[in-house]
Amino acid sequence: MPRLVVVSNRVSAPVDENVASVGGLAMALSAALREYSGIWFGWSGETAETFTGQIRMSHTAGVTVATVDLEDQDIQEYYNGYANRTLWPLFHYRTDLTAYERSFDVGYVRVNARFAETLLPLLHPDDIVWVHDYHLIPLASELRRRGCMNRIGFFLHIPWPARRIFESLPNHRELAASLFDYDLVGFQTRDSLTAFQDYVVQTAGGELAPDGTARVLGRSVKLDAFPIGLDASAFADAAKGKTAATWSERMTVSQAGRRMIIGVDRLDYSKGLEERFLAYEQFLATHADAHEQVFMLQIATPSRDEVDAYQDIRARLDAVAGRINGAYATVDWVPLRYVNRAYRRDELAGFYRSAALGLVTPLRDGMNLVAKEYVMAQDPTDPGVLVLSKFAGAAEQLADALLVNPHSREEVSDAISRGLAMPRAERIRRWETLMQNVITQDVTHWRDSFVHALEASPNASSTPALV
C-alpha cells in the first residue's frame, strides 16, 4: 500500500481523540490518518522571525506529523489575508466582505512555494499526496514545477461558488489553472462539483468526459464529489462514554425540566449565528407558551480573531444575545445561554444528547459536521430533531432533517416550533434515516473513496498546466 501524505494548513494531531482543534478539517483528518501509515504536513501554528524551512517531526496517536513555522508576514498575507479575507468570504458568497489585495496574492503563492520546497524532500516516489482546502490550491503547481511526479489529489472542504462569483476574483484564471495540476479534485457536494464544471466549460474552455474527467489547458483532471463524514464509531463511543453521560445528567439537572435547543459552531459569519439568534427571538416573540419552557444553548468558539469581520460578528452577537436576554429573561430563566469556549468531543456529545432540537443554520457551509454529530449523539428511543440549513452541504445527504432557509426568521422560527412539537414516532422515523446516512457515509468511506479515485485517476504529469 502506498504511503499517504496529507497536507493541510492546520495540522492537529490529537493527543487524545476527544481533544482536537475546532474545525471540521482537523476532526476529519485526524480520524482519516489514524489507520494509514503516512505523514500529515502543514503549518505548526507558530511564527518564526524568518522562514527557515526547518521541519519538526512528531508521532502522536499513530500519526506522524511534520510541521513548519511561518513568518509573521506570511500569516498576515497568506492566512489572515488571501485565505481568510479573500477566498473564504468569496467562496461563501460574501462578496461584500471580500478583500482583493495584490500583497495577499503574492503572500499566498509564496507560502505555497515554501510548503512545496519543504515537503518535496520528504516524498517517496510512490507516495500519494492529498492536499486539503483553500489555503493550498497552488500547491500541486509548485510541486510539479519542482519536478514532483507523484499522484496529487486536492479536496476542497468549503463550497465552490457559482461561476460568476468565482470570476470576481481578479486572478481567477491562474487560481483555477492551478487546480488542473492535480490528478483528482474533490468537492463536498454535487452542487460545488457542478459549479466548478460550469467554470471549466464556460470560462476555461475545457471539456468534460462522461467519466467526470475534465480536459483543460493541456491537462486531464478527474473531478468528483466526496461528501466528508464523521468518525462515526469514535463519536458513538464518545456519546456512550462516562464523560458524555456525566454531562448529559448535569445538563438535565441544569435544564430543570426545560427543553434545550443547541447550536455548536466556530464563531464565523458563514454560520448564520446572528440570523439564528434573530430567528430564536422571533420564536420567543410569537410563542409566549414556550417562555420558561425552552432555552437555547449556543456554543460559539472564537475563530480567526485577527480578521476584522470576525471581530465584528463577535461584537454583534454579544449585542443581540444581550438584547434577547434583556428582553425575555426572568429571575430564574435565561432564554439564551451563549458560551464562547471550546469543549471536548465527549462533552459535546453529552450536550447534543440532552437537546430536544439541534439548530444548524449556516448561510453557506461546505458540509457541516456538527449536524452529523448531533444525529450520532441521539438516544434512539427518544431522539431530538435536526433543523438544518438547505445551504449546508450536509443537506444533500440529510434530507430527513427539517430543512430551512436560514435567511428567513419566520421559516426558522416555524421549524423550531414544529420540531419541538414533533411526535416521537416521526422523530424516530426521521432520525433512523439520518443515522443510516451518517454511519454509512462516514470518514473512512470518504477517505477510501477519495484515495481509490486518486489511485485510479489519469497519471500525473510533471508539466504545469498552460495558463
Under the rule (CB under 6 A), what is the footprint of ligand ADP?
22-25, 27, 264-266, 299, 301, 342-343, 348, 367-370, 373
Q: Which is nearer to ligand ADP, 266 or 430 (CB)?
A: 266
Q: Which of residues 415-434 bind ligand F6P (CB under 6 A)?
A: none
Q: By CB under 6 A, is residue 24 in contact with ligand F6P?
A: yes
Q: Which is nearer to ligand F6P, 133 or 231 (CB)?
A: 133
Taking the complex as a whole, how short is the minimal distance between the CB of residue 4 and ligand ADP, in angstroms? 21
Q: By CB under 6 A, is residue 25 in contact with ligand F6P?
A: yes
Q: Which of 57, 4, 11 is nearest to 30 (CA)?
A: 11
Q: Which does 370 bind (CB under 5 to 8 A by kind): ligand F6P, ligand ADP, none?
A: ligand ADP
**How far lies 385's CA from each of 378, 411, 428, in Å?**
9, 16, 9
Taking the complex as a whole, how short is the minimal distance between the CB of residue 10 and ligand F6P, in angstroms? 4
Q: Which of 75, 382, 41, 284 is nearest to 84 (CA)?
A: 75
**Separation CA 140–CA 178 (nearest Å):** 7
Taking the complex as a whole, how short is the minimal distance between the CB of residue 193 and ligand F6P, in angstroms? 17
Q: Which of 133, 9, 153 is nearest to 68 (CA)?
A: 9
**Separation CA 438–CA 337 (nearest Å):** 28
Given 265, 365, 400, 442, which residue is catalytic? 365
Q: Which of residues 73-132 bind ligand F6P (CB under 6 A)?
A: none
Are 53 and 156 within 8 A, CB to CB?
no
Q: Which is nearer to ligand ADP, 347 or 414 (CB)?
A: 347
Residues near ligand F6P (CB under 6 A), total: 10
Taking the complex as a whole, how short is the minimal distance between the CB of residue 342 and ligand ADP, in angstroms? 4
Strand order, beta sheet including 402-404? 336-339, 294-301, 259-266, 357-360, 385-389, 402-404
Strand ranges (DSSP E) for 307-462? Answer: 336-339, 357-360, 385-389, 402-404
Strand ranges (DSSP E) for 54-192? Answer: 56-60, 63-71, 128-132, 151-155, 184-187
Q: Which does 133 bind (CB under 5 to 8 A by kind): ligand ADP, ligand F6P, none?
A: ligand F6P
382 classed as catalytic: no
Q: Which does 10 bind (CB under 5 to 8 A by kind): ligand ADP, ligand F6P, none?
A: ligand F6P
Give kind and range of the element (H or E) at residue 260. strand 259-266
Q: Which does 451 bind (CB under 5 to 8 A by kind): ligand ADP, ligand F6P, none?
A: none
Taking the complex as a whole, how short is the minimal distance between the CB of residue 366 and ligand F6P, in angstroms? 6
Taking the complex as a whole, how short is the minimal distance between the CB of residue 235 and ligand ADP, in angstroms? 9
Q: Which does 373 bind (CB under 5 to 8 A by kind): ligand F6P, ligand ADP, none?
A: ligand ADP
Q: Which of 465, 15, 12, 18 is nearest to 238 (CA)?
A: 18
Q: Which is nearer to ligand ADP, 128 or 387 (CB)?
A: 387
Q: Which of 155, 134, 153 is nearest to 92 (CA)?
A: 134
**Separation CA 445–CA 24 (nearest Å):** 16
| Residue entry with cell 465527549 | 346
Q: Which does 342 bind (CB under 5 to 8 A by kind): ligand F6P, ligand ADP, none?
A: ligand ADP
Are 262 and 374 within 8 A, CB to CB?
yes
Given 157, 183, 265, 442, which residue is catalytic? 157
Q: Which does 301 bind (CB under 5 to 8 A by kind): ligand F6P, ligand ADP, none?
A: ligand ADP
Q: Which is nearer to ligand ADP, 9 or 118 (CB)?
A: 9
92 classed as catalytic: no
Which position's Cβ is nearest ligand ADP? 24
Per-residue contact flags (x/-) with ligand F6P for residues 297 to 326, judged by CB under 6 A: ------xx----------------------
Q: By CB under 6 A, is residue 10 in contact with ligand F6P?
A: yes
Q: By CB under 6 A, is residue 158 in contact with ligand F6P?
A: yes
Q: By CB under 6 A, is residue 133 in contact with ligand F6P?
A: yes
The DSSP string of 80-103 is IIIIIIIIHHHHTT-GGG----HH
Exactly one of 110, 114, 144, 157 binds ligand F6P (CB under 6 A); that residue is 157
Q: Which is nearer to ligand ADP, 204 or 348 (CB)?
A: 348
Are 195 and 233 within 8 A, CB to CB?
no
Neighbours of 122 (CB within 10 A): 14
Q: Burial level of 215, CB count in 10 A (0-12/13-18/19+)?
A: middle
Taking the complex as a whole, how short is the minimal distance between the CB of residue 145 and ligand ADP, in angstroms? 30
- Adjacent-strand bridge partners of 219: 216
**How far lies 141's CA from each of 127, 147, 205, 454, 463, in Å?**
17, 10, 20, 17, 9
Q: Which is nearer to ligand ADP, 131 or 148 (CB)?
A: 131
Binding site for ligand F6P (CB under 6 A): 10, 23-26, 133, 157-158, 303-304
Q: What residues are labeled active site?
A: 157, 365
